[in-house]
Amino acid sequence: MENLEKLVKKYYAAVDAKDLDTLFSVFSDNIVYKRPGYEPIEGMEKFREFYRGNRVIREGHHTLSNIIVKEPYVVVEGEFNGILKDGSKSHTTFVDVYTFSNGKAVKRHTYFDGQNV
């Protein structure tokens, strides 16, 4: 089993590279994802729908500033810079809180300090 810090770093690298297979591999089939501006995303099918079409971000890059691991939790602080599907630029800082079980993220909650994307 990969350690939890490596797993979250793997997720951000995958999302920035648009590597959806790797991105999805970090999460449990029963993932619950809470994100401002969206109803809770429950289950892998809805999670895949979000990343394949509902996410407002076209492309971008996450810069991670802090990763705190206290199993089964991981807290990530960082910033995002990118372009939205409407062509506008995006910049925001964020905190993601993950809960892991059996080497997979089962919960994720994103908080934005700035633009909700």
pLDDT digits (tens, 9 = 90+) for 21-57: 999 999 999 999 999 989 999 999 999 999 999 999 9
Strands in 41-42's sheet, in edge-to-edge order, are: 41-42, 27-34, 104-114, 89-101, 73-84, 57-70
115, pLDDT greater than 80: no
What is the tally of structural domains in the chain? 1
pLDDT of residue 12: 98
Read off the pLDDT of residues 66-105 as tens digits, 9 standing for 90 and up: 999 999 999 999 999 999 999 999 999 999 999 999 999 9
Query: Which domain CATH number covers 52?
Result: 3.10.450.50
40: domain range? 4-114
